[in-house]
Amino acid sequence: MKHEKSCGAVVYAIEDGRLLFLAEHMRLGHISIPKGHVEGNETEEETARREIKEETNLDVRMDTAFRHEVSYSPAAGIMKQVVFFAAEAVSREMKNQECEVSGLEWMPADEAIRAMTYDTDKEVLAHAVEYLGRKHGLDA
């Protein structure tokens, strides 16, 4: 069995006292959270930060106190581990990575969870919503 590792983050912003979450509309047709493969000797945080910048052009403040891991098999003979953090957007100048991402959209928590294509992304987002709501004292 081949093992792969990716890292990413639930990207959020606080606007008018409420949490908004970033959804990526991927060229392959699904809606997801920014993530990608670890390259070289990158740390998990470095991978997540690089992938967010590449896919969205956003600068973020990474919150590694939130760490949620999922594993799944994307294809026969492959097991993928994905580590997610939370990341607050410190810039709002978005530009999608055209080769992978067809669009980027800010959504309230419930809408973002419903929009995610895969159950693993729904799970990660739900945990992040709960964590960030407590951290910032905000209703999601």
Name the CA dihedral angle for 106, 110, 116, 122, rounded to a multiple of 10 degrees: 130
Tell me the pLDDT tens digit for each residue of 55-104: 999 999 999 999 999 999 989 999 999 999 999 999 888 887 888 888 99
What the chain holds in terms of domains, given with CATH numbers, is 2-136 (3.90.79.10)
Q: Which two tokens stand for residue 122?
A: 């729904």
Query: Model-level pTM?
Result: 0.94
Percent residues over pLDDT 70 in the chain: 99
